[in-house]
Copies of this chain bind each other. A is one copy, B any other.
Amino acid sequence: MRMAELSRESGVAVATIKYYQREGLLPPGERTSPNQARYDATHVRRLRLVRALLEVGGLSIADVRDVLAAIDEPATSTHDILGVAQHGLPLARRDVSDEDRKWALEHLEAVTAERGWQLSPESPAVEAIVDVLCTVRAVGHEWMLDSLDRYVDAAERVAEADLGAVARLGSTESIVEGAVVGTVFGDALLVALRRLAHKQASRERFGDA
């Protein structure tokens, strides 16, 4: 297929496809002559993934480029597939004071220790959690920490499901793509489900007014 068909198939404007090519989000087509190229189903698929990461995942163009680079790497050991998937995925960050950071880390350790989790305070995930906890305190809503244990519990459960799902993927296809997709869209799914669960729990607790 050529540019126009790729555009029709994927629902992305021609000019936008060209832009994505320039930005390295879409590999070049197979050349048929010095200034003509042909595309195939892999390009359609990649384009759909790019749009999904941008729209649902809320990633920036640069984030998408990093994530795709991870996907296109030859698969590493099963153990760090999720690590590779996480590498390049953004988490909200903030600067907070060292005292605050220490305070938050202690709280986090308090609830993860009993589960035997090993925290490396330098890891992006821990830093992001610490940032959120500090922010919550800064706006005067420390009470949220009371629920931290339940949050950790919920995160543990979905993570187990995620690991199981990824392990079930045959290693023939791109497990890494599965891990990335699962991570990004899993976030969006979890957030939306939480909203729905709020409504439901509120209905159960306070009746149908």
Residue numbers of A with Cβ under 8 A of B are: 45, 48-49, 52, 55-58, 77-83, 86, 89, 91-92, 94, 112, 115, 117-119, 123-126, 128-129, 131-133, 135-136, 138-141, 143-144, 146-148, 150-165, 167-169, 177-178, 181-183, 185-203, 205-207, 209
12 contacts between A and B (CB under 8 A): A48-B139, A77-B206, A79-B206, A81-B202, A129-B189, A144-B189, A147-B158, A147-B162, A150-B160, A154-B154, A155-B196, A156-B201
Q: A91-B195, A141-B182, A147-B165 are in contact. Are A188 and B132 (CB under 8 A)?
A: yes
Instruction: Give the residues in chain B near A151, CB-CB below 8 Å.
Output: 158, 161, 186, 189-190, 193
Report chain B residues within 8 Å CB of A58. 58, 92
A202 touching B82 by the CB < 8 A rule?
Answer: yes
Is A129 touching B193 in the complex (CB atoms < 8 A)? Answer: yes
Given A52-B94, A129-B193, A159-B194, 15 more pairs with CB closer than 8 A: A55-B94, A79-B202, A79-B203, A92-B188, A118-B200, A125-B193, A141-B181, A141-B182, A143-B169, A146-B165, A152-B197, A154-B190, A155-B190, A163-B205, A167-B205
